[in-house]
Amino acid sequence: MELRHLRYFVVVAEELHFTRASQRLGIGQPPLSQQIQQLEQEIGSPLFRRLPRGVALTEAGLAFFFDAKAILAQVDRATRNVQRIARGDQGAITIGMINSAPFNPLIQRVLREYREQYPQVQMSLTETSTPELAKSVLSGTLDAAFVRPLISDDMGLVAEPLFDEDVVIALPSGHPLSSRRTLQVADLARETFVLFTRVVGSGLYDEIISACQRAGFSPRIEQQASQVTSIVNLVAAGLGVSMVPESMKQINSHGVTYRRIEGDVPRARMSVVYREHQISPALANLLALAHKLVGEKKPSRKGTRTRAPDADE
């Protein structure tokens, strides 16, 4: 028994007339009659009583009609589900991100618009450090992750740069340097730094250290933290100064003042990583949306943007 037999039978049962059923199906009446006869022979029971004009369902045919319709409906649902999954309109996706990613307006927009465009895709989010995220993506626990540049290139991982953002200086409120609207990296030469380890965020760590060295000093790091939000809290506690991605200003932590950097401004890169040759339709849609939104709103470059003066936060 094939699905076409069920479809032919259901149409005949609905029309109760072979000629009308054949016209509806787009096939000749003799082939349709033969298909129904074959179905009746396979089942071992007549499904229709032939009348002078049209047909009527037998008791067995009536029972088979409801079962056949249910089977075809289930097949149609299964087909639609597969098609939605193949398009990435349905299914599940697991996304990781570093601690600072949710504070970036562009990442916020990517996640918000993805959920709006694909409401039938179950999206799960997890947050940890870049090395842990890379391991999870490589093992298949995560489909993708928003991270800072990796300390090394892991075989089997693809890392696509999305955008760069300026780094700003974070000072304890009341710090002598906070009286100035902008600062240079060299102004921090005598300061104690709060920073994360290179293992946690090699790309941004190297960018900050290199900027300090170009300014003529090596930063004196006395406190380290595994997350940027923790760094901001340590700065607020007066344990040192730091340099953090500009989007971290959204934390609005009491006791911290942010200042823009003049001249040689370090940049914080955000990338998305995923497994090579393992892009599901749902992930393909996420990547396409991320690149689309990044293309629509490129980060402003120094010297071309207009902003209100920073306020202490």
**What element of type H or E holds 271?**
strand 267-275
Q: Which residue has the tokens 């629509």?
A: 296
| Total domains present in the chain | 3
169 and 223 assigned to the same domain: yes
53 and 200 assigned to the same domain: no
| pLDDT for position 299 | 44
Are the beta carbons of 22 and 32 closer than 8 angstroms? Answer: yes
| pLDDT for position 313 | 41
| pLDDT for position 284 | 92
Residue 161 has pLDDT above 50, yes or no: yes
Residue 263 in domain: yes
**Rounded alpha-carbon distances, angstroms, from residue 310 to 240, 246, 307:** 20, 12, 8
147 and 291 assigned to the same domain: yes
97 and 10 assigned to the same domain: no
- CATH number at 176 reads 3.40.190.10
pLDDT digits (tens, 9 = 90+) for 217-252: 999 998 888 788 889 999 999 999 999 999 888 876
Q: What is the DSSP string of 140-155?
A: TS-SEEEESPPSS--T
Residue 164 has pLDDT above 60, yes or no: yes
Residue 29 in domain: yes
CA dist., res. 28 & res. 34, Å (int) = 10
230 and 96 assigned to the same domain: no
47 and 125 assigned to the same domain: no
132-155 average pLDDT score? 84
Q: Could you tell me the pLDDT band of residue 53, with boundaries at 50, 70 and 90? A: confident
Residue 55 in domain: yes
136 and 193 assigned to the same domain: no
CA dist., res. 33 & res. 23, Å (int) = 13
Instruction: Output the pTM of the full model.
Output: 0.72
| pLDDT for position 151 | 58
pLDDT digits (tens, 9 = 90+) for 271-313: 999 998 888 999 999 999 999 998 886 544 443 333 333 434 4
Question: Of 107, 98, 109, 161, which is closest to residue 133 (Cα–Cα)?
Answer: 98
Residue 313 in domain: no
| % the chain with pLDDT above 70 | 93
CA dist., res. 1 & res. 39, Å (int) = 7
Residue 256 in domain: yes
CA dist., res. 281 & res. 145, Å (int) = 16
| Higher pLDDT, residue 85 or 10 | 10
Residue 202 has pLDDT above 60, yes or no: yes
CA dist., res. 204 & res. 196, Å (int) = 9
- CATH number at 78 reads 1.10.10.10
Residue 107 in domain: yes
Q: Which domain holds residue 117?
A: 91-162+270-296
176 and 148 assigned to the same domain: no
Helix (H, G, I), strand (E, B) or coil at 222: strand
Q: Could you tell me the pLDDT band of residue 106, with boundaries at 50, 70 and 90? A: very high
